[in-house]
Amino acid sequence: MIPIEIHMFPCLNDNYGFLVHDQESGFTAAVDTPEAETILAELSKKNWNLTHIFNTHHHADHAGGNIAIKEATECLIIGPRADASRIPGIDKLVGDGDEFLLGGHPVRIFDTPGHTRGHIIYYLPEDGVAFVGDTLFAMGCGRLFEGTPAQMWNSLQKLTQLPDDTEIYCAHEYTQANARFALSVEPGNQALIDRAREVDSLRARNEPTVPTTLGLEKATNPFLRPMSLEISTNVGLGGSGTEEVDLVEVFARTRALKDSF
């Protein structure tokens, strides 16, 4: 099987648009629709016909271009069953454990509530890539607009079960700000220090920091590292090493600190 081709481009202020193309069938999916005009222009540049939209969640910078793109391409819109009423033009409702094909490529759905109640991610196991929307970011995670810390922690744990070399396509270029926060709660993490420096030099050249890999996130993302003694101490929990630290509580405090960072 020819590997899936992924075309990534900036949209709006700090979103990324993604086109996912199967050469053999010609099927092409847009992951979310931050900006209809940009996505349609990128499709014609690549000379690809859009067959699908994969929506991760209902926010306007993810589903706002659905109707205009559907009118222009007659594509099929796939989105979260748990949030069908808020996904414009939705045709096919999917949820946790569902699997379907994009051409020859299996696509598996995980429900990842937290950022919104109906957020889903799209995982292509044979290609080793995951489109995670606003659930996980490079060194960050989505704000908890509609979910509890326990829900989001559970959602992130589903992601951490994937292989470490899984390429993670997150929907925003938030990495540099996320690195500054991560260093504030785990300043002694050498992998994080190294990565922050690398991110600064990429951004200085105006290069993207997306995709990341799951392994890199496990090593540097504070929202996947509540078991770090340095983090639990810096958010005001644990530190003595004697009592059990509640990982959800560490995660919740880390998220709350980030909200006001």
Task: Please identify every residue annotated as catalytic.
Answer: 57, 59, 61-62, 115, 134, 172
Residue 42: both structure tokens together: 């990128």
Question: Taking contact as CB under 5 A, which single stretch among the options 16-24, 105-113, 132-140, 159-167 is the one that binds Zn ion?
Answer: 132-140
Half-sphere exposure of 215 (CA within 13 A, CB side): 5
Kindly state whether residue 225 participates in binding Zn ion, applying the rule CB under 5 A. no
CB 194 within 8 A of CB 139: no
* For Zn ion, the closer CB: 59 or 105: 59
Draw the binding track, 156-195, toward Zn ion (x: CB under 5 A; -: no contact): ----------------------------------------
Binds Zn ion (CB under 5 A): choice among 59, 172, 253, 255: 59
- Give 34 or 238: the residue with its C-beta nearer to Zn ion: 34
How many chain residues touch Zn ion (CB under 5 A)? 2
Least separation in angstroms between CB 103 and Zn ion: 28
Minimum CB separation from Zn ion for residue 164, in Å? 26
Which of 21, 58 has the CB closer to Zn ion?
A: 58
Long-range Cβ contact pairs of 1-6 (< 8 A, separation 24 or more): 1/104, 1/105, 1/126, 3/127, 4/102, 4/105, 4/124, 4/127, 4/129, 6/129, 6/169
Q: Rule CB under 5 A: say whether 83 interacts with Zn ion.
A: no
- What is the 8-class DSSP label of residue 245? P
Neighbours of 103 (CB within 10 A): 18
**Closest distance to Zn ion from the beta carbon of 159 (Å):** 16
Comparing CB distances to Zn ion, the nearer of 15 and 232 is 15
Smallest gap from residue 116 Cβ to Zn ion (A) = 6
Residue range at the interface with Zn ion (CB under 5 A); choices 10-18, 39-47, 56-64, 198-206: 56-64
Q: How far apart are CA 211 and CA 20, in angstroms?
A: 14
As given in the structure block, the two tokens for residue 228 are: 């770090």
Task: State the burial class of residue 108 (Cβ atoms within 10 Å of its Cβ: 0-12, 13-18, 19+).
Answer: middle
Residue 122, both tokens = 């799209």
Using rule CB under 5 A, residue 134 touches Zn ion: yes
Phi, psi for 58 (deg, rounded to 5): -85, -10
CB of 105 to Zn ion, least distance (A): 25
Stretch that binds Zn ion, among 48-56, 72-80, 131-139, 238-246 (CB under 5 A): 131-139
| Torsion from C-alpha of 155, 157, 161, 167, nearest 10 degrees | 70
Closest to Zn ion by CB, 111 vs 134, is 134
Closest CA to 170 of 217, 199, 133: 133
Q: What are phi and psi of 258, to 5 degrees?
A: -65, -35
Please give the residue ranges that form the binding site for Zn ion (CB under 5 A): 59, 134
